[in-house]
Structure 1
Amino acid sequence: MNGADKLCDVLLVNGVDVCFANPGTSEMHFVAALDRKPEMRCVLGLFEGVVTGAADGYARMADKPAATLLHLGPGLANGLANLHNARRADTPVINVVGDHATYHVQYDAPLTSDIESLARPMSQWVGRVETASAVRRVTEEAYVASVSRRGVSTMILPADAAWGDAEPEDLTPVEVPAAATSSPEKIREAAAALKSGKRVAIILAGKALRKEALEIAGKIAAASGAELFSQQSDRHERGAGRVAIRPVPYPVGMAVAALAEFEIAICLGKGVPVAFFAYPGMPSQLLPAQCKAIELGGAETNLLETLELLCSEIGASSAKPALNRLTQGELEEPTGDLTPDSIGRALARRMPENAIICDEAITSGRAFGQLAPGIQPHDHLSLTGGAIGIGIPLSVGAALARPDQKVILLQADGSGMYTVQGLWTQARENLDVVTIVYSNRSYAILQGEMRNVGVNQFGKNARAMLDLDRPDLDWCLMARGMGVEAGRATTIDEFSRLLDAALSNKGPFLIEAMI
């Protein structure tokens, strides 16, 4: 047994049985160890951003971490954008980053880098394995930190620690401290606010947006008159039959207006909502200046139990929450032009129950989002950290975690090009993913942001940076070149026919919607 074998065994005994990988020379002993462990599913990504984004998507749906295998500092650096998104989603990920043998580092070989410094901004925990004998301890520390802190752990594995001899031993799962609830004082403060007669918003994020927690929050809102809002989170269980909740709008002006009337905000899962960006004359924090914020805990808190305690404190256990009504059957078949609105309506009419929506449509998916409360119950996975290029990898991880659920990816064309290699992984693993590419041949979100800062006329240089033309992207050719069947829609009728076929079959399929 060597250190790499011990690492695999520690991961497996703790339930980490999927490894998304893009290895290199320094990781070959770990690759060999993985080859000796058929219980570990190994999934190759052709770019590290696919690897880290897929690990994020897997953890969001499996509620446990996957491992990644990355090659030295440059490999980790290639995956940092989607590790940023994972950090903002509070999803557990365990990165295994290979490094040169300890005695080789002093010679400053071409791939030598400061891996710790690269890892820290996107990691809750960073550790280095010095010898094979330390593998178990460091791996267990990485696992506990990832699960208990709800975030990214990065462990660095020098090559000689991987190939060095390790003693066989009986392994048992490591104990993870139970998540604590919010303090009794905070719960009483929130209860007093709910009974005060003031206008109260309850703003939920993270695991507070799961079905069971939402039902408790809905009871609290029904009994107190508070209004429920959601912040962008890792996974929102939404749709018909689930508790009605308003998202905090993305545009700053709309968000400020939506929250303007509230005197108290009770926040669970995240802190107070803030604007994605600063704009001249607009606030950074979205709550009104006079609004008092009561924070009942972040991702590391047991949010379900906290809500149950608050519900009991105000005597709302028998209250009836307001639920979304199923309106899917009332939607008319869209006609006319192929637009984001008609696409959203066609998809909403056809949504299968318990689908997983991975959403990186940026500007084009808002029409579907407006219809989402009234369609079949589903999971919604969003772009949490704003670093584009997560959509395709997110769909890979979600489909691997839940092979029994249909995954539908709403994908903007510009951000899709960041990690287009993930289509190959969809094909290789035969994942049940329908990818809808909103092909407007532009960075439409950035065009909107230009208008937000007062620029309404785009000159040659601005268009060169914001338009995706000359040449136009051909998503069908790219998808087929990576093994994914694809079709192009130029009308809403063509789109609906392609969507019907994709939903009725298993396996990956891409629809290029020419909007």
Structure 2
Amino acid sequence: MNGADLLCETLLANGIDTCFANPGTSEMHFVAALDRQPRMRCVLGLFEGVVTGAADGYARMAEKPAATLLHLGPGLANGLANMHNARRARSPMVNVVGDHATCHLALDAPLTSDIDSLARPMSHWIGRAETAEAVGQRTAEAIAAARAGAGGIATLILHADAAWTETSAPVPAAVVPAAPAAPDPARIREAAEALRNGKRTTILVTGRALRAPQTEMLDRIAQKTDARVMAQQANARMQRGAGRVALDRVPYVIDQALATFAETEQLVLIGANAPVGFFAYPGKPGSMLPEGCRVIAMADADDDLPAAIAALAGETGLAPAPRLAEHGAPDMPGGALTPDAIAIALAHLMPQDAIVCDESITSGRDFFRSTHGAAPHDFLQLTGGSIGEGIPMATGAAVACPDRKVIGLQADGSGMYTVQGLWTQARERLDVVTIVFANRLYKILHGELQNVGAGAPGENARRMLDLDDPALDWVRIANGMGVEAARADTAEAFFDLLRSAMSRKGPFLIEAVV
């Protein structure tokens, strides 16, 4: 056994049996070790952003980390954007980043870089395996860090000679994750007292507080105390649809967010952060809360949120039953295809237990309004604002849950950042339907140009914000990646395509011209 074998055995001993990979020369002994492990599923991504984004989507649904395999500092750097999203989602992830053999570092070969500094902003833990004997212990430390609290990003730097050198070091005992922090009784009582004082109160939640049993209990607390429950703006995973509590998110648009909280006198945070603008805008506040609003941080992200909610219920009491969304959808419109028509079609046709992965950006802002009564589903969204997450996230979710239909809501501009993920979907025969909102421009940036007071776009600005010269042909792009695809520009055609796609297995892409 060499160090690379020891790494594989340690991963498998801890239930990490999926590796999203884009390897290079320094990782070849780890590749060979993976080749000797039939229990390990290896999934190739043609770009490192696909690798890390897929690991994020996988972790959100599997509720355990995948491993990633990245090539030296530049490979890691290519994956950092979706590591940022995963960090914001608190997705557990174990990154294995190859480095030169220790004896080769002093030669300053062309690919030598400061991997630690590249990894630090997006990692909760960084460690180096410099000898074969150290590999097992270092891997166990990485796994422990990934599973700590609500989840973390661990980056293990594996030197090539540590991978190829033989070792008799034993496989470390399986890591026992630490239990999440118990709720603080004093903070629970403070929140309960606030909820009883008659002031207008919003309970803002995220994380495991957005699973169906927790949202039902929160709704019963809200009824009992005349409060309002909302999800924070960006969340790793929400359980929603018919038979579940219909929660709204904090709006992205700053004026809408300010209006949402204009009358709020108290804010109770359960794993969430106080709402702020995504960016600064001239003449507008950064906080979405009115002046004088009291903020009560009842539970932190790493706390046991279900236990905290149960403890709050013990203090406040509960209404007899939660208010659950009824199954149903608005009437399907006809004519030109619009984002609203797409959402309504999904409300009609989404199968039970689908997984919706949303990177629709501007086009999907009203998705919730039409889909509260859709079939029960999990909703995954862009958490850190770094675009290029949607296609990889759907890929990872489909690997984690092969028996569930995955639906990707994808803006066309951001889809081009990691379009290579379609190839992985085709190779792995993943059951993903990707809906591309083809408005042929960076629509969000057109809006932001106005929002920051920079005026209407001129010729130079339009050339930086528009995607219509030449127009992207998503049907041909998908076909070139091995994914069957079709185009729709009317609500009727889209409905028919979506119905067909939902009735079959395997990857399919719909270019929705809106």
TM-score bracket relative to the smaller structure: over 0.9
Tell me the secondary structure at the aligned position of residue 338 of structure 1: coil
Residue 314, structure 1, aligned to residue 316, structure 2:
yes
Q: CA deviation at 1:43?
A: 0.1
**Residue identity in the other structure for 2:104:** H
Letter in 2 for 1:419: T
Q: Residue 171 of structure 1: CA displacement?
A: 4.6
Q: Indicate if the aligned counterparts of 2:91 and 2:152 stay in contact, CA closer than 8 A.
A: yes
Are the structure 2 counterparts of residues 244 and 338 from structure 1 closer, same or farther at C-alpha, using a change threshold of 3 Å? closer
In the other structure, the counterpart of 1:506 is 505
State how 1:417-456 maps to structure 2 within 5 Å: 417-456=416-455
1:64 maps to what in 2?
64
Please tell me whether residue 174 in structure 1 is matched to residue 203 in structure 2.
no
Contact 2:246 2:325 in 1 (8 A): yes
How far did residue 222 of structure 1 move? 1.6
- Tell me the residue number matched to 2:294: 292
Equivalents in 1 of 2:172, 2:453: separation in Å?
Answer: 61
TM-score normalized by the length of structure 1: 0.97
Deviations 1:48-86 (CA, angstroms, capped at 9, x unpaired): 000000000000001110000000000000000000000
Structure 2 contact 65–92 (Cα < 8 Å) conserved: yes
**Matched residue, 1:202:** 203
2:490 corresponds to: 491
- Residue 368 of structure 1, CA deviation: 2.6
The 3 A distance-change label for structure 1 pair 244 and 332 is closer
Cα deviation for residue 408 of structure 1 reads 0.5
CA RMSD of aligned residues (A): 1.2
CA distance in 2, matches of 1:465, 1:273: 30
Task: For residue 262 of structure 1, report the CA deviation from its aligned partner.
Answer: 1.4
In structure 1, the residue corresponding to 2:288 is in which secondary structure?
coil
2:416 aligns to what SS in structure 1? Answer: helix
2:275 to 263, 273, 276: 273
2:265 to 263, 266, 275: 263
Q: Tell me whether 183-192 or 75-84 shows the greater mean CA deviation.
A: 183-192
Alpha-carbon offset, residue 170 of structure 1: 5.5
Q: Counterpart amino acid of 2:208?
A: K
Corresponding residue for residue 474 of structure 1: 473
* Aligned counterparts of 2:456 and 2:277: Cα–Cα separation in 1: 25
| TM-score, length-scaled by structure 2 | 0.98
Q: 1:16–1:67: 8 Å Cα contact kept in structure 2?
A: yes
Match of 1:38 in 2: 38
Given that 2:343 and 2:371 are in contact with CA atoms closer than 8 Å, whether structure 1 keeps it comes out as no
Deviation at 1:185?
0.9
| Counterpart Cα distance in 2 of 1:284 and 1:226 | 24
| CA 1:385–1:170: 2 relative to 1, 3 Å | closer
Structure-to-structure mapping, 1:94-493, within 5 angstroms:
94-149=94-149, 150-167=151-168, 169=170, 171-231=172-232, 232-316=234-318, 319-328=320-329, 331-493=330-492
Distance in 2, matches of 1:442 and 1:44, equals 30
Could you give the per-residue CA deviations for residues 398-439 of structure 1, whole angstroms, max 9, x where no partner exists? 001111110010100000000000000000000000000111
* CA separation of 1:491 and 1:244: change in aligned 2, threshold 3 A: closer
Alpha-carbon displacement from aligned partner over 1:271-306 (angstroms, at most 9, x marks no partner): 212111010111112122211111123331110011
Superposition deviation, residue 350 in structure 1: 1.1
For the 8 Å contact 1:23–1:69, the answer to whether it is kept is yes
Alpha-carbon separation, structure 1, partners of 2:66 and 2:159: 20
Could you tell me which amino acid in structure 1 is paired with residue 190 of structure 2? E
CA contact (8 A) 2:49 2:82 kept: yes
Do 2:248 and 2:368's aligned partners in 1 also have CA atoms closer than 8 Å?
no
Identity score, percent: 60
Check conservation: 1:240, 1:377, Cα contact below 8 A.
yes
1:322-361 CA distance string (max 9 Å, x none): 2222222xx2222011111222222221111111110001
Residues of 2 paired with 1:406 and 1:389: CA distance?
Answer: 21
Q: Would the aligned equivalents of 2:6 and 2:171 in 1 still touch at CA under 8 Å?
A: no
Q: 2:52–2:82: 8 Å Cα contact kept in structure 1? A: yes
Q: CA deviation at 1:462?
A: 0.4
Secondary structure of the residue that 2:197 maps to in structure 1?
Answer: coil
- Is this contact kept in 2: 1:324–1:374, CA < 8 A? yes
2: CA distance, partners of 1:246 / 1:368:
10
